[in-house]
Chains A and B, each alone.
Chain A
Amino acid sequence: MPDASLLGQVKDFANRANPYPVYAKLRETPVSRQDDGTGDGTWVAATHDTIARLLQDPRVSSDTQPPADRPRTGNPLTDLIVKPLKDWMMDRHRVFIFRDPPDHDALRAAVMHQFSRERVQAMRARSDRLVADLLDAKSGAREIDAVDDLAYPLPVTVICELFGVPREDEPKFHGWATQLATALEPDSLSDTEIRAKNSRTFDAIGGYMADLIKDKRKHPRDDMLSGLANHATPEGAKMGDYDLVATSILMLVAGHETTVNLITNGLLTLLRHPDELERLRQDPLRAPRVIEELMRYEPPVQFRTRRTLSAIDIAGVTIPKAADLVLLLASGNRDAAVFPDPDRFDPDRTGTRHLGFGGSLHYCVGAPLARFEAEAALTALAARLKAPRLIEDPPPYRPGAALRGPEHLRVAIDGIA
């Protein structure tokens, strides 16, 4: 019998800095039933093969969210009419990472259409400029916090500019995004308090977005939100207002909560492998290799949740119908069957079958953006930080087990070149 407490150990904050030994134990049983505090348990896929198969199994659904249930207010009109209506609308117009085909496909296609190569390429040059400015602002410093000084502001500015959110409104998003990102943590689904907070946050950010969309209709600009609000896709689809609000919230939250971890995990890993930091400094063209290996070795999204629509026989077990499923992407990335010597950070690996961006129909929409933002940040850090040293190792971590990364990354330096 596999140890059923391992998923609990994954969630346990004590293992946040290094969850990989727990993943290794989970891989001993490719798919195992884990205790989750409910009688049903959660099924965890931990090997590359089983994760890759389940990612493209039509019996696996991304619709993991329980029905919306806003907290009651005590006002009968609100509780009997407005609340059910709002809950119903929210369920019908979930963000598309929690939806299945065919609805998912139409929404994603509309976003991909606006995520045009030209638009993404334009942000590439912009990222280099932003990184340069952020580092210039710290010139003379003897210590930086890689999170607050670079890894957070860079992707946030990029996503706001790309989407057309006024930069001065960004501080509002900081708290909203942190709160909504908890929806990806498995325990938040059953925690009524977190769910109540999330629906309040969703309503707040939703109100803001609805106003912004109105403005984009009146005064269209060359940004993604204007594009989504005013133009149909080549297939002739145009998003309804509720889907548009939900989709823009998804993009903004994703832009706030993922790339920050890629950049921070990247600098942390490079500081732990000074030879690789030096090689990157001497040869910035190594950056794409370094980043692909980072996406394998320390992916910002460690796992995703799913739900089974039917029973599935896999790897000697039967996952029952309507079971909660965790696809442990970061564990699949350390599977020795696919990656020899998997715990070694080695940018010279060939073959990039990592699961860091997920796979199949929900493969990360923002992957190209994440790649070059990380490239801009890490090459600049390698080139400009003089004698960087970690002040704390391991650094303090943010609470999330699924969206995992340091809260702060304090680095002592002799200056910025």
Chain B
Amino acid sequence: MARTSERAVIVGAGLAALRGAEAMRAAGFSGPLAVIGAEPHYPYDRPPLSKHVLAGAIPADATTLPGIHGLDADWHLGNPAIGLDRGRRAVLLADGRDLPYDRLLIATGTRARPWPNPHEGRLAGVFTLRGRDDAAALRRALAAGPRRVLVIGGGFIGCEVASLCRKLGLPVTLVEPGPTPLARVLGSTVGAFIGAIHAGHGVEIRCGAEVEWLEDAEGRLVRAHLVDGSRIDADVAVIALGAVRNTEWLDGSGLSADPGGVDCDASGHVHDTDGQTDPRIAAAGDVARFSHPLYEGRRVALEHWSHAAAQAVHAGRLLAGTPPGEPYGALPTFWSTQGDLVVKSAGLTEGADAVAITQGDPAAGRFIALYGRAGRCIAALSVDSARWLPAHAEMVAAGAPFPPHGAAADRPKAIKILEPGFS
């Protein structure tokens, strides 16, 4: 690609922003490139925050991603974008400046969903976990040896934090309104298997329970009151209620965006509320909602590390003027380290009408769960048996028949088909 005076702006400074910027440069984009970050940090890696950083194995600031300084970019860090004016082709920054663009990548990601009561959410001892500073603060609190940690929400972050607390020898209670941990994403059948493993390591799990309010003494958390009237004494609470997509800054821009993400077409360009594509703008990562070709075009916004990296490369090439040719549609994958347990998955469980344990044994703490929908494999999950996942991922990508037939290592003679337990 020839030298250009066109200006590129990337809003967001996480993994997707960095991979998008790298992909633009690799595809030959030579114009000025600005990266805008709400946090004062260069792009860093989030997965270690809830694992190695909380465990104290590495400091939070050791997570900075490599490759930043070879990028030839202008960094606007700690200065969030607050608006987008597509008429003037400018991004509005919090400090009042405008940044003009000819090509724009939206990669603003998500933030932790806050505790609904803002006063309680600000109490000393109450944490969310999304950014590097969150992780550093929570690590300090855990290292101080709290009497009990309360984890509110039994999703992946909740399970990671709770199981890690056990590894640190801390008493921990996990409160989850659903029937089991992880029920929303994995269903209550598999959720119960994983919950039992954590319970076996001493995580006190309270399912079907909800925290109503947090009590403090002189601004410091002392206990939580549950809807059923019971109380849990705790001096640290981790609010793990999922994430909210950072799309507010797009209000008034005319783009099709809401708290569920910003909409992209099959090429990766965003579209406006009239359904018209804006060829100057693409989106990638947690904030991008797109039709997934492997799932009958269902519109999804995925919060996975590998997805953020891969979709940003796709978007970066698109914005650099060398479109990849086919729509983005990598098989969604993620992993979660929960204490010593390694959970990995391929595919999307949403809509599953059946699940089967195809290898291993949940009671032994190692198994593969395969999810089916209308007789096809749609997702696979490995618990401490990741070596078997690639073969299952191939079945998911190919939409192989469900349940699988034929024998395999450590497979029960007759595969039992279970109700997945999605509410």
Which residues does A use to contact B, with CB under 8 Å? Answer: 53, 56-61, 100-102, 309-311, 321, 360-361
Binds A, one of B24-32, B252-260, B408-416: B408-416
Assess A58 versus B364: contact at CB under 8 Å? Given A309-B406, A310-B405, A321-B406: no
Contact status B391-A102, CB under 8 Å: no
Q: Which of B358, B361, B392, B408 contacts A309 (CB 8 A)?
A: B408
**Does B387 count as interface, using CB distance less than 8 angstroms?**
yes
Query: CB distance A58 to B388 under 8 Å?
Result: yes
Query: Taking the nearest CB of chain A, how far is it from the CB of B377, in angstroms?
Result: 14
Quote the shortest CB–CB distance from A319 to chain B (angstroms): 12
| 7 pairs of A and B residues whose beta carbons are closest in the complex | A310-B406, A309-B407, A58-B408, A101-B410, A100-B409, A57-B391, A58-B388
Mark B391-423 against chain A: 1 for CB-CB distance below 8 A, else 0.
110000000000001111111000000000000
Task: Identify 25 residue pairs between A and B in the complex whose beta-carbon atoms are under 8 Å apart, listed by A's number.
Answer: A56-B388, A56-B391, A57-B390, A58-B358, A58-B368, A58-B392, A58-B408, A58-B411, A59-B408, A59-B409, A61-B409, A100-B409, A101-B360, A101-B409, A102-B360, A102-B361, A309-B406, A309-B407, A309-B408, A309-B409, A310-B407, A310-B408, A311-B406, A360-B387, A361-B387
Task: Give bound CA distance, A61 to B411, whole Å.
Answer: 12
Q: Does B359 lie at the interface of the complex (its beta carbon under 8 Å from any beta carbon of A)?
A: yes
A-B pairs with beta carbons under 8 A, tally: 50
Considering only CB atoms, which chain A residue lies closest to B389 in the complex?
A: A56
Q: How far is the CA of A116 from the CA of B130 in the complex (A)?
A: 38
When C-beta atoms are compared, the residue in chain A nearest to B394 turns out to be A53
A100, B408: Cα distance in complex, Å: 10
Which residues of chain A are near B366, meaning CB under 8 Å? 102
Q: Would you call the interface of chain A mostly helix, strand, loop, or mixed?
A: loop
A102 and B406 within 8 A (CB): no
Q: In the complex, what's the smallest C-beta–C-beta distance from A36 to chain B, in angstroms?
A: 22
Restricting to B235-270, which residues have a CB under 8 Å from any CB of A? none
Q: How long is the Cα–Cα vector from A100 to B410 in the complex, in angstroms?
A: 7
Q: Report B110 CB to chain A, min CB distance, Å.
A: 33
Q: How far is the CB of A137 from chain B (nearest CB, A)?
A: 45
Please judge, given known A-B contacts A101-B409, A309-B408, whether A56 and B390 are in contact too, CB under 8 Å: yes
Taking CB atoms, residues of chain B closer than 8 Å to A53 are 390-391
Question: Inside 8 A of B411's CB, which chain A residues have their CB?
Answer: 58, 309
Chain A residue nearest in CB terms to B410? A101
**A310 contact set on B, CB distance < 8 A:** 405-408
Q: Chain A: which residue is nearest B404 at the CB level?
A: A310
Min CB gap B330→A, angstroms = 18
Q: How many Å from the CB of A308 to the closest CB on chain B?
A: 9
In B342-398, the 8 Å CB interface with A consists of 358-361, 364, 366, 368, 387-388, 390-392
Which residues of chain B from 255 to 294 have a CB within 8 Å of any chain A CB?
A: none
What B residues does A61 contact at CB under 8 A? 409
**B contact residues vs A (CB 8 Å cutoff):** 358-361, 364, 366, 368, 387-388, 390-392, 405-411
A59's nearest neighbour on chain B, judged by CB, is B408
Assembly CA distance A58 to B366 (angstroms): 14
Contacts of A57 in B (CB 8 A): 390-391
Q: How far apart are B109's CB and chain A's nearest CB, in angstroms?
A: 31
Q: Nearest chain-A residue to B392 (Cβ)?
A: A58
- CB nearest neighbor in A for B388: A58
- Bound complex: CA of A77 vs CA of B282, how far in Å? 81
Give the chain A neighbours of B391 by CB distance below 8 A.
Answer: 53, 56-59
- B387/A56 in contact, CB under 8 A: yes
Measured CA separation A58–B368 after assembly (Å): 11
Shortest B336–chain A CB gap in Å is 20
Q: Which residues of B contact A321 (CB under 8 A)?
A: 406-407
Determine the chain A residues whose CB is within 8 A of the CB of B406 once the complex forms.
59, 309-311, 321
Q: How far is the CA of A311 from the CA of B400 in the complex (A)?
A: 13
**Bound complex: CA A188 to CA B361 (Å):** 35
Q: Write out the residue numbers on chain A whose beta carbons fall within 8 Å of the beta carbon of B407.
A: 59, 309-310, 321
From B400, which residue of chain A is reached at the shortest CB distance? A313
A321 to B368, CA, bound (A): 21
CB within 8 A of B364: which of A56, A60, A102, A360?
A102
In the assembly, what is the distance between CA of A361 and CA of B385, in Å? 10
Complex-state Cα separation, A57 to B368, whole angstroms: 13
Report the minimum CB–CB distance from B375 to chain A (whole Å).
Answer: 18
On chain A, the residues within 8 Å of B410 by CB distance are: 58, 100-102
CB distance from B384 to the nearest CB of A (A): 10
Whole-angstrom CA separation of A58 from B387 in the bound complex: 9
Provide the bound-state CA to CA distance between A53 and B405, in Å: 19
Smallest CB separation, A4 vs chain B (Å)? 26
- Chain A residue numbers with a CB within 8 Å of B360 are 101-102
A59 CA / B391 CA spacing, docked (Å) = 9
What residue of chain A has the Cβ atom nearest to residue B391's Cβ? A57
B219 CB, min distance to chain A CBs, angstroms = 44
**B-side contacts of A360, CB under 8 Å:** 387
User: What residues on B are CB-neighbors of A59 within 8 Å?
Assistant: 391, 406-409
List chain A residues, Cβ under 8 A from B359: 58, 101
With A and B bound together, what is the CA distance between A102 and B392 in angstroms? 18
Taking the nearest CB of chain B, how far is it from the CB of A67, in angstroms? 18
Instruction: Tell me the complex Cα distance, A360–B388, Å.
Output: 9
Q: Give A120 Cβ to nearest chain B Cβ, in Å.
A: 23
Q: Tell whether A58 pairs with B409 under 8 Å between CB atoms, given A53-B390, A102-B364, A361-B387.
A: yes
Q: Select from chain A the residue with minimum beta-carbon distance to B358.
A: A58
Q: Least Cβ distance of A167 to chain B in Å?
A: 38
> How far, in Å, is B402 (CB) from chain A's closest CB?
15
Residue of A nearest to B405 (CB): A310
Q: Which of A57, A100, A309 has the most CB of B within 10 A?
A: A57
Interface centre among B359, B361, B408, B411 (most CB of A within 10 A): B408
Shortest CB-to-CB span from B97 to chain A, Å, is: 44
Collect the chain A residues with CB atoms within 8 Å of residue B358's CB: 58
- Hey, which chain A residues are within 8 Å of B368, CB to CB? 58
Q: Which residue of B lies closest to A62 (CB)?
A: B409
List 4 additional A-B contacts (Cβ < 8 Å) besides A59-B408, A309-B407, A309-B408: A58-B359, A61-B409, A309-B409, A310-B406
CA distance in complex: A361, B364 (Å): 17
**Which residues in B have their C-beta under 8 angstroms from that of A100?**
409-410
In the bound complex, CA of A102 to CA of B406 (Å): 18
* Docked CA distance A305–B386 (Å): 23
B335 → chain A, closest Cβ, in Å? Answer: 16
Nearest B residue (CB) for A103: B410
B108: min CB distance to chain A, Å: 35
B385 to chain A: closest residue by CB: A101
Q: Which of A53, A102, A311 has the most CB of B within 10 A?
A: A102
B365 to chain A, nearest CB (A): 10
Residue from the set A57, A58, A60, A311 with the largest chain B CB neighbour count within 10 Å = A58
Looking at the assembled complex, report how far the CB atom of B315 sits from the nearest CB atom of chain A, in whole angstroms. Answer: 28
Q: Which residue of B lies closest to A100 (CB)?
A: B409
Chain B residues with Cβ below 8 Å from A58 are 358-359, 368, 388, 391-392, 408-411
User: What residues of A have a CB within 8 angstroms of the CB of B405 in the complex?
Assistant: 310
In the complex, chain B residues whose CB is within 8 Å of the CB of A60: 409
Q: How far is the CB of B407 from chain A (nearest CB, A)?
A: 4
Task: Provide the bound-state CA to CA distance between A58 and B409, in Å.
Answer: 5
Query: Complex: how many Å from CA A361 to CA B388?
Result: 10
**Contact residues in B for A56 (Cβ distance below 8 Å):** 387-388, 390-391
